[in-house]
């Protein structure tokens, strides 16, 4: 955008995830990538189930799926998994190369407003969660590539931010975590006040609500989408660990206490508790399994499950939050080896 005005000044805002989608964007994983070491083939069934749930019966209201691929050979790999699904007309492949599949974090953040152009994209800088996983050059430019494809305006805040680090209610409030956004591996030159100003200017939010630390094993330094999620303008679900000997117990209790003190639009937040699955350790590493990493699609809610006794309780709680959507639990014991699940893999394009 050549305009010197910010998106907020131009009337743009980031919609809530439960608002109507035109599509869901994914970046198909690469076999040579680093996200699923020695287990690439084992994550494909969960990806197929995810896409199948999104396109549903192919009727109005289901999420069309847009998939970023590197080239024709990569598209063929994705098709080998997905072509067996019905309603292929709901899947579109785009030659937009990415390094890794975590579209929530490297993908475009979409904004909307009531006048043309109604849709816009924010292209935040991206450094693979604090320069942990180079190379990330393709991921960094993916939002602008999508903007060129869709022929929509693009804004550049000149600040590092991943989509999984922020959660909005569509009505002016944004949830985030200090452990991630204030980490010096992201924006060492920016103060908390400067970071807040950019969030307000580029996402059209007014209130910034801060939680503290993330869960053990989360290599993102504490993304909000593993911790607490808006399920309405004034209601939040947050994960809580009941075992006081677990490393997650104290940080999640502290986050719960913060949420219970928070207000948005002058009203106290309605806080609902989600359980945590039992500790999952693989090759000596704790994996960041969390039921909060669900994705809200037009007609369904995709929820990671872990063959855990708490799975059914988490699904039941989320059914109460989303009575108008089909709540789909999908086994993510292989997917979580990549340190993320459905919310990390998806990015919604709002309908305008």
Catalytic site residue from 90, 103, 180, 344: 344
Q: The dihedral of CA 235, 169, 342, 248: what is its sign?
A: negative
Give the integer Cα–Cα distance in Å for 91 and 94: 10
Q: Are strands 235-239 and 228-230 parallel, antiparallel or unpaired?
A: antiparallel
Give the integer Cα–Cα distance in Å for 54 and 5: 36
Q: Max Cα separation, the chain?
A: 54
CB within 8 A of 324, min separation 6: which ones?
none
User: What's the alpha-carbon Rg for the chain, to the nearest Å?
Assistant: 19
Active-site residue flag, 344: yes
Burial class (CB in 10 A: 0-12, 13-18, 19+), 351: middle
Give the integer Cα–Cα distance in Å for 234 and 269: 5
Cβ atoms 179, 254 nearer than 8 A: no
Residues taking part in catalysis: 344
């Amino acid at each position: 955008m050549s305009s010197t005005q910010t998106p907020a000044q131009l009337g743009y805002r980031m919609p809530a995830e439960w608002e109507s989608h035109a599509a869901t964007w994914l970046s198909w994983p690469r076999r040579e990538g680093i996200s699923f070491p020695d287990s690439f083939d084992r994550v494909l069934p969960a990806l197929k189930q995810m896409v199948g749930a999104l396109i549903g019966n192919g009727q109005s209201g289901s999420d069309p799926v847009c998939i970023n691929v590197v080239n024709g050979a990569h598209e063929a790999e994705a098709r080998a998994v997905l072509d067996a699904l019905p309603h292929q007309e709901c899947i579109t492949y785009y030659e937009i190369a990415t390094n890794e599949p975590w579209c929530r974090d490297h993908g475009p953040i979409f904004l909307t407003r009531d006048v043309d152009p109604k849709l816009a994209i924010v292209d935040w800088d991206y450094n693979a969660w604090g320069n942990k996983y180079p190379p990330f050059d393709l991921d960094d430019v993916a939002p602008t590539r999508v903007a060129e494809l869709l022929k929509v305006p693009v804004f550049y805040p000149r600040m590092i931010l991943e989509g999984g680090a922020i959660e909005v209610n569509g009505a002016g409030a944004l949830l985030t975590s200090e452990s991630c956004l204030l980490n010096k591996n992201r924006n060492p030159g920016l103060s908390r006040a400067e970071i807040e100003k950019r969030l307000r200017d580029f996402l059209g939010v007014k209130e910034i609500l801060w939680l503290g630390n993330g869960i053990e094993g989360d290599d993102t330094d504490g993304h909000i989408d593993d911790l607490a999620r808006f399920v309405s303008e004034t209601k939040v679900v947050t994960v809580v660990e009941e075992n006081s000997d677990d490393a997650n117990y104290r940080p999640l209790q502290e986050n719960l206490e913060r949420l219970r003190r928070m207000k948005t639009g002058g009203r106290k937040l309605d806080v609902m508790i989600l359980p945590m699955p039992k500790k999952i350790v693989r090759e000596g590493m704790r994996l960041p399994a969390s039921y909060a990493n669900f994705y809200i699609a037009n007609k369904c809610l995709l929820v990671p499950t872990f063959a855990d006794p708490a799975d059914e309780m988490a699904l039941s709680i989320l059914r109460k939050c989303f009575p108008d959507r089909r709540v789909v639990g999908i086994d993510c014991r292989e997917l979580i080896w990549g340190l993320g699940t459905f919310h990390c893999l998806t990015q919604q394009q709002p309908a305008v």
